[in-house]
Amino acid sequence: MEEGKKDVQVKTERLEEQLKEWGVDLEKLKSRANKARADAKAEIDREITSLRARLNEAQKKLAELKTAGDAASVEMRKGVENAWVELRKAFESATAKFK
């Protein structure tokens, strides 16, 4: 039982670090948007808004997982993993698009 709790803690710590990195990436995109032409700025701003919403949702799911700890259901863990995969894809797509 204690081993499972450690696994969840280690995973949540890794996820928190990734969220921080994505937050920095989001700020970099925001900086690019401020320097871009009006049409490009509008597109980057839309992308930032979408990414921010997804990032916030992932943070909520991670917080739920942390508070559930050992009792976290398989479905809850899958929900966090799915949100993570979608967020990762969105960030990869956005950063590739605006390089």
pLDDT per residue as tens digits for the range 4-29? 666 777 778 888 888 888 888 888 88
Q: Reduced to 3 states, what is the DSSP secondary structure of residue 26?
A: helix
End-to-end CA distance of the chain: 46
Strand, coil or helix: what is 75? helix
pTM: 0.65
* Contact (Cβ atoms closer than 8 angstroms) between residue 76 and residue 68: yes
Q: How far apart are CA 57 and CA 51, in angstroms?
A: 10
Measured at the alpha carbon of residue 89, what is the angle toward residues 15 and 50, in degrees to the nearest 5? 90
Alpha-carbon dihedral sign for residues 81, 16, 62, 60 = negative
Report the share of the chain in percent with pLDDT over 90. 1
Single-letter code of the amino acid located at 48? I
